[in-house]
Chain A
């Protein structure tokens, strides 16, 4: 029906203000996620979860390419050489993480009740009145996004403000983002805009910029919410090569069938063996 809508989060212009986290909580009535001092960075939220649908990551960068495996391959090595002491804080990376609304969504695939569904905007949403809290979606997500809310018992995650979209509004996080780091719109448009932005950054010498989740050929068929990152994905806590777990489901059932048949054979053998039908055997 409607076009596929998505998020393009351009982390190169994120200033880490966390307005997205706040707006999300306000609009969606998401409860607090604990008042924790994590002492790792300015990030005291930690990660996405049932009570955190937008999460701003802060990465303090102590000089690039420390491990000699630079992001761009050959150009990564000179970074370490010219950078002097590794104590240098080269910069901060900030990124507002969110549910990826995968094309092939594992959470949706494995949900046994149909509580998770794909909307007309091709986003993935949990129906809170159907979810029975089985928890299967939680370890199925290759990004670690969805989680069960303790005390409530049901699973929650970003809805890409389904209610606002139905009303013709953009999601709360994109609405409040002061730098337009979070952009909302038809996915095709966003992908074109992201490609343009990437080209611009590369032309400006920022070879470390790369798109994440924008490729429809990746393990999840491309993300409805994709990113422009300034370092390797795992630095932001993102999996470098996520694959929808159900891709291997036919193979899994194949192995299970093999095991089931072996078991049937083993049971049959158990009854063929020394049967108690032979009275002479008794001592």
Chain B
């Protein structure tokens, strides 16, 4: 296969200054940058899962997804700050709003998103979940049209701890309950009564910031002179969105009792599919510029990502049968999502370090323009 590729794409001839790179490599570090890409994307997708879970009355899944969303945003922000050359100046990110800078847009999105998800997660922690067959859990669900609410939540059976969780799950539930009790005791009573509605509202608004969180990072890396990133600006958002959804689905299924995690598993499968397809399309369309996604360390990372993601996605539909299967599927998907982000960063660095990827496409562009101009001139002459 590799030999065939070489025959089809002859060795590109180009000139350079002693083989030195033309552009500067991205200076973003590992693990900060790729882990942020993973956490931020996962947080964005998880906030959407959380909102849907809240709307459909799935309290347990909503709790997990809200915690994942808030944790991902907060953890990601910490990695971002640590990545700065002057971390103490991180607030300068909010000094201006610049639509021409995806990082400026992203900083504002992250600031709003982390606030919203923290509020949503906080309220989910202090609000006792609806007792089995009780009234709707929140004012939001109560405000839904009665028929919809009945369809979505009325017929749900109560989760039975013996079947869903097992010992570990029960311990987790008890831990959450204890934490909730301490939180409630620490808060003023007024806040405790107001929090559920506020949290639900915040969680709903995060539906707007979530998709941005999962995709803006693709625009961020594409909006550079790095050939393997810039020329991939069509597929990268889908790759990142799919990876984010797979990551969020995986994290949510790992931390939710089996019975409640159905939508998380479905989301993980869909996300993994989008991620895999987008990655394959990207590498194919990029041609020579896609080499860094196939070769070297970055190529190995991308292949590892694909294997893990596909394996996790194949396991996900049966992951509801047991904790082991869930763990295998969730961890494989998480590993895949992480490998994708590390691979993309490495591929960008590799494509910036070799002048070939900068010079050859630009030469081809100039040559095409020259031929176009020559054709235009010939056409004009013919007309005369």
Q: Which residue of B lies closest to A251 (CB)?
A: B233
Cα(A270)–Cα(B261), bound, Å: 11
Q: Could you say which of A59, A274, A276 has the most chain B C-beta atoms within 10 Å of its C-beta?
A: A276
In residues 90-118 of chain A, which contact B (Cβ within 8 Å)?
106, 109-115
The number of chain A residues with a CB under 8 A from chain B is 80
B193 at the interface (CB under 8 A from A): no
B365 at the interface (CB under 8 A from A): yes
Q: Given A259-B218, A278-B155: A130 and B92 within 8 A (CB)?
A: yes
Task: Report B-chain residues with C-beta under 8 Å of the C-beta of A235.
Answer: 15-17
Task: Report B-chain residues with C-beta under 8 Å of the C-beta of A269.
Answer: 266, 270
Are B157 and A113 closer than 8 Å at their CB atoms?
no
B358 at the interface (CB under 8 A from A): yes
Task: Report B-chain residues with C-beta under 8 Å of the C-beta of A145.
Answer: 24
A14 at the interface (CB under 8 A from B): no
Q: Which residue of B lies closest to A244 (CB)?
A: B225
In residues 124-140 of chain A, which contact B (Cβ within 8 Å)?
130-136, 138-140
What 0/1 pattern do residues 137 to 166 of A give for CB contact below 8 A with B? 011111111111000111100000000000
In residues 222-261 of chain B, which contact A (Cβ within 8 Å)?
222-226, 229-230, 233-238, 240-242, 244-245, 249, 259-260
Cα(A111)–Cα(B224), bound, Å: 12
A82 at the interface (CB under 8 A from B): no
Cα(A191)–Cα(B267), bound, Å: 58
Task: Report A-chain residues with C-beta under 8 Å of the C-beta of B348.
Answer: 139
B90 at the interface (CB under 8 A from A): yes
A178 at the interface (CB under 8 A from B): no
Query: Which of A46, A255, A277 touches B156 (beta carbons < 8 Å)?
Result: A277
The stretch among A23-31, A204-212, A260-268 that forms the contact with chain B is: A260-268
Cα(A236)–Cα(B22), bound, Å: 9
A35 at the interface (CB under 8 A from B): no
Task: Report A-chain residues with C-beta under 8 Å of the C-beta of B152.
Answer: 277
Are B24 and A138 closer than 8 Å at their CB atoms?
yes
Are B24 and A146 closer than 8 Å at their CB atoms?
yes
Q: Which residue of B lies closest to A145 (CB)?
A: B24
Are A144 and B24 closer than 8 Å at their CB atoms?
yes
Q: Given A138-B26, A239-B362: A276 and B259 within 8 A (CB)?
A: yes
Of all A-B residue pairs in the complex, the 9 with the closest CB atoms, nearest first, are A133-B85, A153-B85, A237-B17, A260-B211, A259-B237, A132-B89, A270-B266, A112-B104, A270-B267
Instruction: Give me the interface of A with B, judged by CB distance under 8 Å.
Output: 38, 40-41, 46-47, 49, 57, 59, 67, 106, 109-115, 130-136, 138-148, 152-155, 232, 234-242, 245-246, 248-249, 251-253, 255-264, 266-271, 273-279, 282
Instruction: Give me the interface of B with A, judged by CB distance under 8 Å.
Output: 13-18, 20-28, 45, 48-49, 52-53, 56, 58, 83-87, 89-90, 92-93, 95-96, 98, 100-104, 106-107, 151-153, 155-157, 163, 207, 211-212, 214-216, 218-220, 222-226, 229-230, 233-238, 240-242, 244-245, 249, 259-260, 262-264, 266-267, 270-271, 274, 348, 352, 355, 358-359, 362-363, 365-366
